[in-house]
Structure 1
């Protein structure tokens, strides 16, 4: 992979992790504290649009994961790739779930804090942690990604055996999902976009990684295409159109350098949910409750958590590099 493309992916991951923080900060509209002020239509509309923007990150992450897995993938190295992905996903998945389980238990036993967290400690059983992700909900992404990586051997077989129709079976999977609905957190729901990323890597990585491919399209057509994709992403099916929209935007970016702080995306993904809950609670106490404050709380929560998690990751990476490598999958 060209160095410039690698830098773009690092930058993209960092931006997407910020959108994930924004997405979960939007949960403020569902909290009991602000249940009385959700009648304000304008504020709720803004919050809903921000939430929709945050959702762009989820399908893009799945598509990017599929792309990186199937790039240079073949029968000789797929076992190594699957083993490597399992190590870099299963260990962080287990560690961060157990870590925050212990954190919540500790905080719930501190006078004055447990009642404010409003968190019911679940029994330590498999379904609660692996399927429902009750302790750290964003970790559902890792558990579903693990399933998709395990199924990659099937995808590779289909890419090789029915080359002329491999895109059609991906489209068929997406179509079935649109008709019957597999469920937002189902691996089948994200299988289409994951394998679409894999399809682009397996057959067209040279096009994807070629600098400025999209920029060669006439400006007017490029603007119409971007506008159409943006509308489709925000108002139709973001899980289908978002990855293409993001790729087209990234393709237009010029040369740039990647800062060390931009390597924090995986750490942010694993830890931000706890930070969002704490910062939101603190801001609610400090700022009070009103429609305008709700929007301010949302934006400040997203910004503060994103910045703090980025800084903590840099310090963690510097002071405990071996542990960081283990619990962040080497990222």
Structure 2
């Protein structure tokens, strides 16, 4: 992997995690009722732009997973074992931390108002249901730590990687097309959307797509923004729902290709210390941004006021403020308790 590609993956991961933070920084409709500026700002950033974040993560994960397979199919079990270490351990620890955090906060009246809901009713169920809620599905399609659904589905796809390797090897882009069609279906227990994006990333390692001109990315980005603007202005049109995945594909492709047109060839992360640090702690930020981000955005509202400017300022600043704070925390944890930090983030 070239230095340019390595830094590209790091920077795009930082962009994607920032979009995820914006998705989870939005205020509910009843909180910003009648505030048109707030509503449309959240729609643009969280809904229309933010929808590219998780697919981009899946595609990059598939790319990195299948990038080096020197022994062919025989290389896959070792990669699975490594991913179980880098994903499963952080998943379990973060899921448990989330529950412990909420139990503590809910027990303190002065702090409980900064949390949207209580998990105590869930914890009063039978142990099998409690464990299922914590580590798999709390009844809404996500575990109690709802942001971890991404890692849960990624782990499932990784376990299917031997089959995916064979399909990519013998069917090539034909398999990606089949996975794309399957992504439109809602199948129980099978993360077909994650399967498509992961397969797409894997296909790009085996069958690279040549780009005639880097400005193609800018053209695609312009097209994605135009389509998003049309969707913002005409949300009632029925075509937007079936077109969701193709539109996201356009957006992800635009982000990936536009990077090469927007970032100079001589750019180096090492010359930008804080940006480099932020890029190295994106997984830590992802793991622990909930429910801590919720506390940050509500504290900002206390300071700015429960009005349109206050909610808007909190929404716009919360992701940046939290990412900066989490990066600083990550730096000190890695410095003071390196072994603990390594375990928590899966050795990253």
Give TM-score scaled by structure 2 length. Answer: 0.82
Structure 1 residue runs without a partner (length 5+): 208-212
Classify the secondary structure of the residue corresponding to 1:131. Answer: coil
Contact 2:98 2:145 in 1 (8 A): yes
Q: CA RMSD of the aligned region, Å?
A: 2.3
The one of 56, 61, 68 aligned to 1:60: 56
Question: 2:44 is matched with which residue?
Answer: 49
Classify the secondary structure of the residue corresponding to 1:113. Answer: helix
The one of 66, 70, 74 aligned to 2:66: 70
What is the deviation of 1:139?
Answer: 0.7
Structure 2 residue runs without a partner (length 5+): 232-242, 270-275
Distance in 1, matches of 2:90 and 2:219, equals 41
What is the deviation of 1:64?
Answer: 0.3
Question: 2:78 is matched with which residue?
Answer: 80
Distance in 1, matches of 2:200 and 2:228, equals 16
Distance in 1, matches of 2:228 and 2:176, equals 19
What is the deviation of 1:115?
Answer: 4.5
1:228 aligns with 2:223: yes
Question: 2:131 is matched with which residue?
Answer: 126
Contact 1:193 1:240 in 2 (8 A): no
Q: Deviations over 1:6-63 (max 9, x none)?
A: 122122212211111111112x134xxxx15322334311211111222221100000
Give TM-score scaled by structure 1 length. Answer: 0.86
Distance in 2, matches of 1:136 and 1:177, equals 24
Question: 1:106 is matched with which residue?
Answer: 104
Bigger shift: residues 102-111 or 79-88: 102-111
Aligned length: 312
What is the deviation of 1:231?
Answer: 3.7
Residue correspondence of structure 1 range 94-243 to structure 2 within 5 A: 94-121=92-119, 122-123=122-123, 125-129=130-134, 130-132=136-138, 133-162=142-171, 166-178=172-184, 180-182=185-187, 187-204=191-208, 214=211, 217=213, 219=215, 223-232=218-227, 235=231, 236-237=243-244, 238-243=247-252
Which structure carries more relative contact order (alpha carbon 8 Å, separation 6+)?
1
Q: 1:198 to 1:218 in 2, by over 3 A?
A: closer
Distance in 1, matches of 2:218 and 2:283, equals 32
